[in-house]
Amino acid sequence: MIEIKDLHKSYKMGSNSLHVLKGINFTAEDGELVAIMGSSGSGKSTLLNILGMLDEADSGEYTLDNVPIKNLSETKAAQYRNKFLGFIFQSFNLINYKSAMENVALPLYYQKVGRKERQEKALNYLERVGLKEWATHLPNELSGGQKQRVAIARAMAAEPKVLLADEPTGALDSKTSYEVMDLIQKINDEGNTILVVTHEEDIAHMCKRIVHLRDGVIVEDKKVKQVRAAEYVQ
Amino acid sequence: MRILFDRNTWQEIFGSISKNKIRTVITIIGVLWGIFVYIGMSGAAKGLDNGFERQFETVAMNSLFAWAQSTSKPYDGFKTGRQLRLELSDVQVLQNRIPEIQFIAPRNAKGVFGGDPALIVRGQKSSNFAVYGDFPVFTKIATKKIYDNGRFINKDDIEQARKVCVIGERTRKELFEEDEEPIGGYIRIDNIYFQVVGVHKYVPGGGFETDGDIYIPFSTYKKLYNTGEYIDWLTIAAYDDADVVQVEEDVKSVLKSIHRVDPTDERAFGSFNLGEIFNRIMGFSKGLTFLSLVIGIATILAGVIGIGNILLISVKERTKELGVRRALGATPKEVRSQIILESVFLTFIAGVMGIILGALTLSAVNNLTKDIDFPYTNPTVPIPYVLGAMVLMIVLGTLIGLIPAQRAVSIRPIDALREE
């Protein structure tokens, strides 16, 4: 599903440049649930941004679902993001003047899906994250966990190939973190490929595979026995 | 172009602007005020224009008045300061010597430029009104609307020096009962009985005339007040293609030669040229129209720039939202057209509201000034002006929307998302 070869990325900070990714080689199969771990500054967010086509690598190859991702125009990148990827952010990034349902429907709007169908699908996904009754509420009327579940529903609504989650539990307490991870595991069980960036050990162990980044290189890549989040959720 | 007619686009835009109410309202006020000022001012200018025109509609535009004063220079053996008086015979001479004159009506009046108004009595009721001695030709120069059943002074009245009169609305009100027919009734003017033959309708603003004026035949006036061949002033209408100013000069020089006055004596005869005054006032109101156009457009411009400004701020404020939208698959074009359409839509709504508000205000002012003597009638703004302002606003709204729209897409989605 995802294949990257010898990925390099550096940021220019005034006169000196910061080499963030120093040759990353990584593949993720269909249906995998991968945790990308690393301390602050290890390059994990940069990697995710490149995977998410929000940023572009300086060199190296990136293939997503057999489509080479290279030299994309902003328009093309936007279309690919819409078609291939679902984003889950640490700070949820819901649009605060839109109701939960409208937020979930937004990627469908950019897919030119009609209003009726959009709302139907959005409601369907909200139901799947258990927030159907909250459909008409604005984000500021929801708790952190609920917001993240709306964000997950939004990421799923476009039926992407890959879900990219950037510290999805970073702004949540551990109980809600486990609820969110439970949801992510269930979505993965249905066969979706998910990449989770995290620095929390317990969250990482709820994935099926952990990739450790340090100073821009992968230092460890191992399969782990998945801890079901449901065990922690009453 | 397709995006313009997509219902979804408009739902998205409507959602975005209806959910940021304060921003929307503030944005709208700028342009609303602009178009309101524009509509209000050009309507008011047009109203004044119409008002002035109505003031003059009863009098021929190419008419002039001439009267005698006293000489300021000695001439031909006469000393200075000689009091001059126009005479009936002057009329024929003027008509013969100046071919541009179409109509000429000599008039006498009591109680207008000095002298006491006549005492008008009917039964137990009495009042004081100005009395004019007139020829039928006067109505060719200044239109007199006469109520049904009545008439103005005619040729026979003059020839036979009939004791008939045309009274004003107020005279009728003061001397006759509400349901009484004034035509055929008798009134006493300075103790002489006159039969009423007509009631004239008063049109406000027509110079020194009032709604109480009484017109009697010139010949009768002559006998009643013993004015002999003297006349108080001349009312002259030139042909439409004549230069009224030149006719005015000609009339004065002919009068000077008749009355043996120094041709360079500027004070011997007074005159008043309606055409010139009219042109001056119309020039003034044209200037006012132009001024209102300039101010209105400048205000609209300021309003639209205000919209651009607020959108610019709102783009800054919405950086994150726009970043999210782009992460979710909004293309730069979609983001750009959303911002521009928001701008155009706001401008349009504000414009329509401003036009409606302006129109309401104009009609309210029109109603308030209806019954008072103020030159303000039927204030309107021509449709092309309104449409022009609308088009201008939409064009400006698009142009000004381009700036925040460009700003919105120039921020990379990753930077937008990082922003806290």
Over residues B7-52, the pLDDT tens digits come to 777 777 887 777 778 878 887 888 888 888 888 888 888 888 888 7
A75–B331: do the CB atoms touch at under 8 Å? Answer: yes
* Separation of alpha carbons B369 and B358, rounded Å: 16
Average pLDDT over residues A211-231: 90
**Bridge partners for B270 per DSSP:** B67
pLDDT tens digits, one per residue of A36-73: 998 888 888 889 889 988 888 889 999 988 888 888 88
Name the residue of chain B whose CA is nearest to A95's CA.
Answer: B321
Burial of A70 by CB count in 10 Å (0-12 exposed, 13-18 middle, 19+ buried)?
Answer: exposed
B327–A52: do the CB atoms touch at under 8 Å? Answer: yes
Q: What is the pLDDT of residue B343?
A: 83
Q: Tell whether the model's pLDDT for residue B206 goes beyond 60.
A: no
Q: Are B31 and B304 in contact (CB under 8 A)?
A: yes
Task: Classify B377 as helix, strand or coil.
Answer: coil
Q: How far is CA A70 from the centre of its chain?
A: 20
Strands (E), B353-418: none
pLDDT tens digits, one per residue of A131-141: 999 999 999 99
- Min Cα distance A232 → chain B (Å) is 32
Higher pLDDT, B375 or B113: B113
Residue A99 with chain B: CB contacts under 8 Å: none
Residue A125 at interface with chain B, using a CB cutoff of 8 Å: no
Using CB atoms, pick whichever of B12, B414, B420 lies closest to residue A109.
Answer: B12
Q: What is the pLDDT of residue A162?
A: 92
* Separation of alpha carbons A138 and B323, rounded Å: 19
Q: Which two tokens stand for residue B367?
A: 């109603």
Q: What's the DSSP call for residue B75?
A: B
pLDDT tens digits, one per residue of B236-293: 988 888 888 889 999 999 999 999 999 999 899 999 887 777 778 878 888 888 888 8
Question: Which candidate in A47, A53, A82 is best for mutational testing of the B interface (most B CBs within 10 A)?
Answer: A82
Question: Which candidate in B3, B328, B412 is best for mutational testing of the A interface (most A CBs within 10 A)?
Answer: B328
Q: What is the pLDDT of residue A72?
A: 84
- Assign B300 a pLDDT band (cuts: 50, 70, 90): confident
Q: Tell whether the model's pLDDT for residue B349 goes beyond 70.
A: yes
CB-defined contacts A:B, below 8 A: 72
Average pLDDT over residues B348-366: 88
Task: Classify B98 as helix, strand or coil.
Answer: coil
Using CB atoms, pick whichever of A83, A95, A109 lies closest to residue B321.
Answer: A95
Share of chain B above pLDDT 90, in %: 30
Name the residue of chain B whose CA is nearest to A82's CA.
Answer: B329
Q: What is the pLDDT of residue B347?
A: 85
Q: Tell whether the model's pLDDT for residue B158 goes beyond 60.
A: yes
Cα atoms in the 13 Å half-sphere on the side-chain side of B107: 29
A115–B331: do the CB atoms touch at under 8 Å? Answer: no
Ordered alpha helix ranges (H), B166-273: 169-175, 218-225, 244-258
Strand pairing class (A67-68; A2-13): unpaired
Strand pairing class (A217-223; B63-68): unpaired
A115–B8: do the CB atoms touch at under 8 Å? Answer: yes
Q: Note the pTM of the prediction, 2 decimals.
A: 0.67
Q: Poorest-confidence range of B176-180, B312-316, B357-361?
A: B312-316
- Min Cα distance B354 → chain A (Å) is 28
Residue A136 at interface with chain B, using a CB cutoff of 8 Å: no
**Bridge partners for A64 per DSSP:** A2, A67
Q: Are A197 and A165 in contact (CB under 8 A)?
A: yes
Q: Among positive and negative, which fits the CA dihedral B248, B251, B256, B262?
A: positive
Q: Which residue has the tokens 């709504």?
A: B349
B328–A158: do the CB atoms touch at under 8 Å? Answer: yes
B20–A97: do the CB atoms touch at under 8 Å? Answer: yes
Residue A193 CB neighbour total at 10 angstroms? 20
Averaged confidence pLDDT in chain A? 90
Q: What's the DSSP call for residue A229?
A: G
Averaged confidence pLDDT in chain B? 86
Average pLDDT over residues A112-129: 90
Q: What is the pLDDT of residue B208?
A: 66
* Residues 6 or more apart whose Cβ sits within 8 Å of residue B44: B292, B362, B365, B376, B379
B15–A102: do the CB atoms touch at under 8 Å? Answer: yes
pLDDT tens digits, one per residue of B60-105: 678 888 999 999 999 988 999 899 999 999 999 999 999 999 999 9
Name the residue of chain B whose CA is nearest to A97's CA.
Answer: B19
Question: What ipTM was reported for this prediction?
Answer: 0.89
B328–A81: do the CB atoms touch at under 8 Å? Answer: yes
